[in-house]
Amino acid sequence: MDVEIGSAIASEVASAAHAHGKLVVGSYHDFARTPDAATLATVVARGTALGADVVKLATTPQDVRDVRLLASVLISHAEDANLVVIGMGERAVATRLLFPALGSLLTYAFRDEPTGPGQLSLDELAPLVRRLFGG
């Protein structure tokens, strides 16, 4: 079950999902920008406190500094939370390929139509993943 961390029903949804033996992904999206490290750390803490099995951060980097910031948040919280960190938009394409190597649990690709800004198609991403990570 995927629920937005800031949602008024997040706690209720997480409890219900766990009661039915389902995993909970606590998500945070910022389609306009990438917040600072302290804000993102607070989001990770809120997601963990919510009981999310995985915390997903998806933000929109404005430049390479924001991509580095996302990488830093991922690396610094990898030991205390199960994280998915993804940058959205054209400036963040590398996050979709490289962040799994830094500890992000998954990435997204599309088959027919993208569902988020900056997504690569499965046909583009799969060969790159195989080349970089094997398999």
Residues with a catalytic annotation lie at: 29, 56
Beta bridge mates, 85: 57
Count CB neighbours of 25 within 10 A: 21
- Closest CA relative to residue 72, chosen from 33, 36, 120: 36
- Closest CA relative to residue 44, chosen from 72, 101, 5: 5
Q: Using the structure block, give the residue that is written with the tokens 């390929």.
A: 97
Kind of pairing between the strands at 25-30 and 83-87: unpaired
- Closest CA relative to residue 52, chosen from 12, 14, 84, 4: 14
